[in-house]
């Protein structure tokens, strides 16, 4: 069984700070890993997708890394802004290769204070 | 441009009264998913379609059904909603090794 854990559950930082969100998974046989952002009352917005053969992906101020062997991924946010405040969810596609399903963590709720 | 569209955004129904939520996509993705998300919890997969093949999760209640009449549309039917079914319902699509795309969700309230 695959379990995805995100630490911390909540994080509050001052504007401008660099921060790291952590995600761990119990079964390393994942197809890929995806980071999402969710604003209150809204759906999920895909931020970054890392294929199982990749080590990292970057988009603007965001950088996601993947270490399959240790079952870990991190999302690095540089120069945080109040607009980054949201819940960040990590999910892995597992079980069945490309036909596997997304298994989500519970998310990290980020608050960036002006 | 919205690519996964869920209607309505907010749905209120009475206890035990059947309700249908809809999802449409303009991406022509072959996989469509329905998730249930309760407050401060991870999205929980209810079922998905891989093309026309329906895949039900083992712990999805019988109360929940789904239809996919064509590639673009997928429906979630709740036959007899209970108070515990109040949640955000999320539709998502995917193809190959591309990212999943989510709609904005339908928030269901039960009176």
The per-residue DSSP string of B1-30 comes to: --SEEEE-SEEEE-TT--EEEEEEESS--S
pLDDT at A98: 63
Q: Is the pLDDT of residue A39 over 80?
A: yes
pLDDT of residue A100: 75
- Please give the pLDDT value at position A13: 96
A74 in Cβ contact with A104 (< 8 Å): no
Across the interface, whether the CB atoms of B6 and A43 are under 8 A apart is answered yes
* Interchain CB distance below 8 Å, B90 and A99: no
Distance CA A46, CA B95 (A): 14
Q: Cα–Cα distance between A6 and A104 in angstroms, integer?
A: 9
Q: Provide the pLDDT for residue A1.
A: 83
Give the minimum alpha-carbon distance from B41 to chain A in angstroms, rounded to a whole number: 6
Q: What is the pLDDT of residue B35?
A: 96
Task: Work out the minimum CA distance from A14 to partner chain B, whole angstroms.
Answer: 23
Is residue A64 scored above 90 in pLDDT?
yes
Contact status of A62 with chain B (Cβ, < 8 Å): no
pLDDT, one tens digit for every residue, chain B (111 residues):
669 999 999 999 999 999 999 999 999 999 999 999 998 888 999 999 999 999 998 899 999 999 999 999 999 999 999 999 999 999 999 988 788 899 999 999 999
Best B100, B103, B109 residue to mutate vs chain A (most A CBs within 10 Å)? B100
Q: Cβ of B92 and A44 within 8 Å? A: yes
Closest CA relative to residue B43, chosen from A105, A74, A72, A22 = A105
User: Do A32 and B97 lie within an 8 Å CB cutoff?
Assistant: yes
Q: Does A53 touch chain B (CB under 8 A)?
A: no
Contact A43 B98 (CB under 8 A): no
Separation of alpha carbons B83 and A105, rounded Å: 25
Q: Tell me the mean pLDDT in the region A56-72.
A: 96
Range B64-89 burial, b when 16+ CB lie within 10 A, else e = bbbebeebbebbbebeebeeebbbbb
pLDDT at B99: 84
B102–A107 C-beta distance less than 8 A:
no
In Å, how far is A78's CA from the nearest CA of chain B?
23
Is the pLDDT assigned to residue A24 strictly greater than 70? yes
Q: What is the pLDDT of residue B65?
A: 96
d(CA A48, CA A75): 9
Nearest to B96 among A42, A98, A105 (CB): A98
* Mean pLDDT score, A103-112: 95
Q: Where residue A97 falls among pLDDT bands split at 50, 70, 90?
A: low
């Amino acid at each position: 069984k695959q379990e995805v854990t995100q630490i911390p559950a909540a994080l509050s930082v001052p504007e401008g700070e660099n921060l790291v969100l952590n995600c761990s998974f119990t079964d390393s046989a994942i197809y890929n890993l995806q980071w999402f952002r969710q604003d209150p009352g809204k759906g999920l917005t895909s931020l970054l997708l890392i294929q199982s053969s990749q080590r990292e992906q970057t988009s603007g101020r965001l950088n996601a890394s993947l270490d399959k062997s240790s079952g870990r991924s991190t999302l690095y946010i540089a120069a945080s802004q109040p607009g980054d405040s949201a819940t960040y969810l990590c999910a892995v596609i597992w079980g069945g290769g490309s036909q596997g399903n997304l298994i989500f963590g519970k998310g990290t709720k980020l608050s960036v204070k002006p | 441009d919205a690519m996964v569209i869920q209607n309505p955004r907010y749905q209120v129904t009475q206890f035990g009264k059947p309700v249908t939520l809809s999802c449409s996509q303009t991406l022509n993705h072959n996989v469509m998913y329905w998730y249930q998300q309760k407050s401060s919890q991870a999205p929980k997969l209810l079922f998905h379609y891989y093309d026309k093949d329906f895949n039900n999760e083992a712990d999805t209640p019988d109360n929940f059904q789904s239809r996919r009449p064509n590639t673009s549309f997928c429906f979630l039917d709740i036959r007899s909603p209970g108070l515990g079914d109040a949640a955000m319902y999320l539709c998502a699509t995917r193809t190959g090794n591309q990212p999943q795309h989510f709609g904005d969700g339908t928030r269901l309230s039960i009176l």
